[in-house]
Amino acid sequence: MEEPFDPYYKWLGIPPHEQPPNHYRLLGINAFESDPDVISAAADRQMGHIRTYQTGPHAGASQRILNEVAAARVCLLDAGSRSAYNHELRAKFSAEGGAIQAGNLLAENLRGATRYAILELERLWVLRLRLPAAYLALGRDVVREGRFLEELSGQYARLDEIVRRHRSLRPAAGGDRAKTESTAGQGTSYWGLMHDSVRTVRLWFGIAVFHYRHRAALRGMGRAAYAAHQAESGPEHLAGQVQTLKARLDQLQTSLERLSTVPEGHYLSPQRAAWLLLAILLLPVLLLLWLF
């Protein structure tokens, strides 16, 4: 489908978003121009150019624009009319500028909030997952190689205690299992089954607690070793990984602190904008949960 002909754009270079043009734009001169000679010469130039299209297929559009140029010339050459027109035009520019500024401000706030959210998620990922995993790997290597026995004697003692307490559960578990097997086939009461189930749950819970405490102790070992010896705390690939993650964590913290301040000309910091956006997104979910 052929697009409609736009005489303002084709003949005068006035794009659609500037249409309908004000008098100054129509004449091709600076806004609020007051020199009568400049205004008159610009009107003559535009009218001479538009008249070249009077005999073409768009003669009607040519005549309409000629009338608009003539009206603009009359208005701007009269001091009183020009003053009133300038007052209206300034009010229009002010309103459009305020809307554009508000739109730009909103866009900047959204960009800042998005950047803050991304950096905060990365910080939590490094702090809660990657760095503890790096400390765990370093701690396992320290224990396996038996390094820093005197300096980290407290960490080693804690680790030995955790392992010893876990091993103390194994004979009891074995005895319970043997007792259960010896009574198999003889029939058990409901309360006996419940008792066995409770003991099994307690056993598995103890195993889960052991693994949690054991991993926590190994992470503490790796953290203490790195704090005392930095790059010398273990193999290069393990200590280097901890060093890289800590440096990245410091960079993220610095960036987040910078985003927590209110930029000039703004009302909200990117940090508060991010939390406000999160609250707006969660509000419908909370309302649905409350209603249903």
One DSSP character per residue, 87-148 reads: HHHHHHHHHHHHHHHHHHHHHHHHHHHHHHHHHHHHHHHIIIIIHHHHHHHHHHHHHHHT--
Which parts of the chain register pLDDT below 70? Answer: 1-2, 95-105, 169-188, 264-266
Pairwise CA distance, residues 163 & 169, whole Å: 10
User: At residue 208, what is the residue type?
Assistant: A
- Non-local CB neighbours of 165 within 8 Å, separated by 6+ positions: 210
Pairwise CA distance, residues 189 & 182, whole Å: 15
Q: Which two tokens stand for residue 288?
A: 């649905």
Q: Which fold has domain 7-77?
A: Helix Hairpins (1.10.287)
Specify the pLDDT at position 136. 93
User: At residue 210, what is the residue type?
Assistant: F
Specify the pLDDT at position 173. 45
Pairwise CA distance, residues 34 & 36, whole Å: 6
User: At residue 282, what is the residue type?
Assistant: L
Other beta carbons within 10 angstroms of residue 238's beta carbon come to 21
**How far apart, in Å, are the Cα atoms of 27 and each of 30, 50, 75, 177?**
9, 11, 12, 99
Pairwise CA distance, residues 248 & 188, whole Å: 60
**How far apart, in Å, are the Cα atoms of 50 and each of 5, 58, 141, 177, 200?**
15, 11, 85, 103, 95
| Per-domain residue ranges of the chain | 7-77, 117-260
Other beta carbons within 10 angstroms of residue 65's beta carbon come to 22
Confirm whether pTM is higher than 0.85.
no
